[in-house]
Amino acid sequence: MKASQVYSEGEWLVHSVFGIGQIMGIEVKNISGANIDYFRIQTFNSTYWVPVNRVDSEKMRPVATLEEFARAIAILQRPPKAMSADHKVRKTHMERVQNQNMPEEMARLMRDLRARQRDKGVYHLDENNAIRTLKQRLADEWSVISGETIENATSRLDALLDH
């Protein structure tokens, strides 16, 4: 995202921790005696505030375009790549991808983790949590950009992962 990009009420953003949310307005909050403008962002189940001058941080990005999201879906249809046998290496990779917050990388990780679970019969808690979080984020974003219901987007992701 470009630092000069300006957002307004009604636009959708994706936060690496909170997920996808819609800007519902700007609120002024007095923090330590200073008035600071914050975007009030509503997710599907919570609200968070981000300083207007911080929306260009690495944690935030605009929603993917349909073309960008189509590339993520295409990744789910490709053969998985083998993951490291070392859990610490996998955990570091999972954390990096979740912090990067990019649909293509999230799809790649989710595909590879799901394949690892199928092949190895291993269901590690960190990996299950990562798959669940990534799938929810991708389904939420797919729903917003395509107009599909979250349930339908989730079902479609499950079908892609289980092929």
pLDDT of 32-46, one tens digit each? 999 999 999 999 889
In the structure, what pLDDT confidence band is assigned to residue 59 with cuts at 50, 70 and 90?
confident
Is the same domain home to 25 and 98? no
Q: Is the residue at 50 inside a domain?
A: yes
Domain containing residue 89: CATH number: 1.20.58.1290
pLDDT of 94-112, one tens digit each? 999 999 999 999 999 999 9
Instruction: Give residue 55's domain range.
Output: 12-62
Is the same domain home to 34 and 95? no
Q: Considering the entire predicted model, what is its pTM?
A: 0.85
Distance CA 17, CA 38 (A): 17
**Distance, CA of 88 to chain centre:** 22
Domain containing residue 19: CATH number: 2.40.10.170
Quick check: 110 and 103 in contact, CB under 8 A?
Answer: no
Domain count along the chain: 2
DSSP 117-136: HHHH----HHHHHHHHHHHH
Task: State the residue for tokens 């960008």.
Answer: 68
Is the same domain home to 57 and 119? no
User: What confidence score (pLDDT) does residue 5 get?
Assistant: 57
